Amino acid sequence: MVLEVSEEDMSWFKRNKEGITTSTKEKKETPEGLWQKCSNCKTLFTVEDLVKNNWVCDRCSNHERIGSEQYFKILFDEGKYTELNEKLTSGDPLNFEDTKKYIDRVKATQKATGLTDAIRTVVGKLDGHDFVVAAMDFSFIGGSLGSVMGEKIARAIDEAIKIKAPFMIVSKSGGARMMEAGFSLMQMAKVSGKLGQLAEAKLPYISFLTDPTTGGVTASFAMLGDLNIAEPEALIAFAGPRVVRETIGRDLPDGFQTSEFVLEHGFLDYIVDRTNLKETLGKSLKFFRK
Amino acid sequence: MAIYLDFEEPIKALEEQIEQTKEIGVNTNIDMNDKVQELESKLVETTKSIFANLTPWQRVQMSRHPDRPYTLAYIDAVSNGTFQELHGDRSVKDDKAMVGGFGLLDGRSVMFIGQQKGINTKMRQYRNFGMPNPEGYRKALRLMKLAEKFNKPIVTFIDTPGAFPGLEAEERGQGEAIARNIYEMMRLKVPVICIIIGEGASGGALGIGVGDKVVMLENTWYSVISPESCSSILWRSWDFKEKAAEALKLTSTDMKALKLVDDVIKEPINGAHRAQTEIFETVKNSIKKYLEELDQIEPSKRINERIEKFSSMGVWK
Ligand SMILES: [Zn+2]
């Protein structure tokens, strides 16, 4: 698990060096407005068109990596929602310092992203029914799981129980946040305990796995949904591809650790194209109500 | 022959000196008792001073000491040789990196489970270096459910460098297996005691690590990542493992101070492996003490307290 965190964290470092996301680099201002290239087939789209198409390329159906805000806009009726505990932010329980102080890393990331941590929790309506959703932001230290993420999810579950609403986590994470060490690890147990309470209240929990979902997130709440659903072609892994390759000493088979692979091995209920997300999810949630 | 870590060299030197002095005494018929006594008290002092000031990295070295007792040795001693191993996950295979079964603790049935490392080169391969596959975690869960069904307490021994990151492990859902265990352990109706006896590496450890009492032997580590991997990721080099070990606050005393584990079990001054009978006795007494305490609590209350304990972990503003 840990090793996967490492890999994802590295890709986060790379990303961070280039700017917040690769898409920022590929954004271009033109007289007609903001344009962006599909990160896969490089077709140029207006951002307006991408938003309309839920950030899916209509040429190659590549799903661009998006953040919590975009998911909320896609999921909720009229794109409206109320955020819970938005001010919650990292402490530095270990006074952690590697090449940089953890606290400075958090501050710099907050400044660069405008986010407080790697997850946002909200309540809104889907098809007219209350729905509590927690969605991660990969741009914030690789969507890593730390105390804030654990506590925000715990409180969101309390809210779901209070208002008797279904609950969903949109996972997009490299795994545990190393700079919170033992605290980070225990968040896996903490959230699992809270999910048990949600189950006792007979409220459905949907785990929605998006690219990438790895490490400690996969080894806890992302795999514990009443329904585990995923976006197409997302990387879903416990140990990341580099680590597995080094372990077995040969190349990995095509499509290894993709959503399609994980579905085929029996760990997902279905894969859903982002353009059909709201409709498909609405249909699933209806079965729990009727 | 005993194996010495680099920082134990002065101890090794003194022990050898004592042996030589005794030999001279025997061979030459000269009374060397005073000299031997002097050396022995020097040995006690040296041992004390070395082990009173171990760095976090040295604790990690201790936790991996090849002479350290592993899970089966503890189970065998604690159950006074009554342990009967139970195999298999009833689905794919029997994982040799995870062992489990019933044993009697002073006449009472207890389910013992733990990661098992190999005691020599051949066995290390056989035990996959204590790195379970999903089948290991599923076997552990099967045995925990068996214990719960017949109202027997569960004791787990944690000693793993991590869950195995292999291709089949991924195919068969390593993440799901660990996740399921964490979720189910949180809700077990019987008392659960988890003891870190060596390495407690991340999710691979937590997969059998959710309990009413989670305790660490003194010279063990428990964290989200090993110091070596942490060094390679955050410092982009393998050379900062000592620094990483410090930063991670992974020692038993740090983890207890941070309230991430419930207790620390003291080891013999120079480590569990140098006085095995003693550590087995200490561990057995600790388990009995914890069980006595946990037996007093109603199952539903015990579960709530377990959930509460983990829910309170975390620091935020
Ligand atoms: Zn495209």
pLDDT digit string (tens) for B85-129?
Answer: 999 999 999 999 999 999 999 999 999 999 999 999 999 999 999
Residue B149 domain-assigned?
yes
Question: How would residue B2 be classed by pLDDT, with cut points 50, 70 and 90?
Answer: confident
User: What single letter denotes the amino acid at residue B271?
Assistant: G
pLDDT in tens, chain A (290 residues): 333 344 343 343 333 333 334 344 445 555 556 899 999 999 999 999 999 999 999 999 999 999 999 999 999 999 999 999 999 999 999 999 999 999 999 999 999 999 999 999 999 999 999 999 999 999 999 999 999 999 999 999 999 999 999 999 999 999 999 999 999 999 999 999 999 999 999 999 999 999 999 999 999 999 999 999 999 999 999 999 999 999 999 999 999 999 999 999 999 999 999 999 999 999 999 999 98
What type of residue is A205?
Y
Residues A154 and A259 in one domain: yes
ipTM of the complex: 0.96
Q: Are A214 and A145 in contact (CB under 8 A)?
A: no
- Domain identity same for A95 and A208: yes
Q: Does one domain contain both B108 and B18?
A: no
Cross-chain Cβ contact A94/B163 below 8 Å: no
**Do residues A147 and A42 both lie within one domain?**
no
Q: Where in the sequence is the domain holding A177, given as residue range(s)?
A: 2-17+66-289
pLDDT of A206 reads: 98
Indicate if B17 and B76 belong to the same structural domain: no
Please give the structure tokens belonging to residue A39: 């990160």
Number of domains in chain B: 2
Chain B residues lying within 8 Å of A103, measured CB to CB: none
Q: Residues B151, B269: one domain?
A: yes
| Same structural domain, A143 and A277 | yes
Helix (H) or strand (E) segment spanning residue A67: none
Does B224 contact A216 at a Cβ distance shorter than 8 Å? yes
B173 with B216, same domain: the answer is yes
Looking up tokens 């001054």 gives: B269
* Same domain (yes/no): A152, A270: yes
What's the domain count of chain A? 2
Q: What is the pTM of this model?
A: 0.94
Quick check: is B112 in a domain?
yes
Which chain B residues touch A5 with a CB distance below 8 Å?
224-225, 233
Same domain, A136 and A148: yes
- Transcribe A109-125 into DSSP letters: HHHHHS-SSSEEEEEEE
Same domain, A150 and A100: yes
**Are B184 and B222 contained in the same domain?**
yes
Clarify whether residues B100 and B231 are in a common domain.
yes
The answer to whether residues A11 and A47 belong to one domain is no
- AA letter at B37: Q
B317 lies in some domain: no
- Give the Cα separation of A180 and A146 in Å (integer): 6
**Residue B215, strand partner residues:** B195, B263
Query: Looking at the partner chain, which of A184, A192, A247 has a beta carbon nearest the beta carbon of B224?
Result: A184
Residue B1 counted as domain residue: no
B110 and B45 within one domain:
no
d(CA B20, CA B7): 22
CATH of the domain at B240: 3.90.226.10
Specify the long-range contacts of residues B90-94, CB closer than 8 Å, at least 24 apart.
Answer: B90/B142, B91/B135, B91/B138, B92/B134, B92/B135, B92/B138, B92/B172, B93/B135, B94/B135, B94/B139
Which pLDDT does position A30 carry in this prediction?
Answer: 52
Angle at B135 (CA atoms; ends A8, B72), nearest 5 degrees: 105
Share of residues in chain B with pLDDT > 90 (%): 97
Residue at B179 is within a domain: yes
pLDDT of residue A4: 37
Same domain, A27 and A102: no
Amino acid found at B4: Y
* Residue range B197-225: mean pLDDT, rounded: 98
Question: Model confidence over B3-44: pLDDT tens digits?
Answer: 999 999 999 999 999 999 999 999 998 899 999 999 999 999
List all residues of chain A from 59 to 88 with a beta carbon under 8 Å from chain B: 88
Name the residue among B235, B244, B310 with its Cβ closest to that of A189.
B310
Q: Across the interface, do B314 and A176 touch by the CB < 8 Å criterion?
A: no
Residue B207 and residue B112 in one domain: yes
CATH number for the domain spanning A206: value is 3.90.226.10
Q: Are residues A138 and A178 in the same domain?
A: yes
In a domain, B2, yes or no: no
* A-chain residue closest to B161, CA distance: A2
SS3 percent helix, strand, coil of chain A, rounded to 5, is 45, 20, 35
Asked if residue B15 and residue B42 are part of one domain, the reply reads yes
- Same-domain status, B35 and B70: no
Q: Are residues A257 and A140 in the same domain?
A: yes
Question: Are A58 and A129 found together in one domain?
Answer: no
> Nearest Cα to B113, choosing from B180, B194, B189?
B194
Q: pLDDT (tens digit, 9 = 90+) per residue, B38-56?
A: 999 999 999 999 999 899 9
Calculate mean pLDDT across residues B260-280: 96
Q: Look at residues A71, A37, A77 and name the one whose alpha carbon lies nearest to residue A54.
A: A71
Find the DSSP H helices in chain B: 9-28, 33-52, 56-63, 71-78, 121-126, 134-149, 167-171, 174-185, 202-206, 227-234, 241-247, 252-257, 276-295, 299-311
Judge if B135 and B26 occupy the same domain: no
**Is B186 contained in some domain?**
yes
pLDDT (0 to 100) of residue A32? 57
Q: Domain of B191?
A: 60-311
Q: Which of A151, A181, A193 sits opposite B250 (nearest CB)?
A: A181
Whether residue B77 sits in one domain with residue B44: no
H or E element, residue B274:
none
Quick check: is B31 in a domain?
yes
Protein residues with C-beta less than 5 angstroms from the ion ligand 1: A 38, 40-41, 57, 59-60, 62
Establish, for the pair of chains A and B, how many residue pairs have beta carbons separated by less than 8 Å: 215
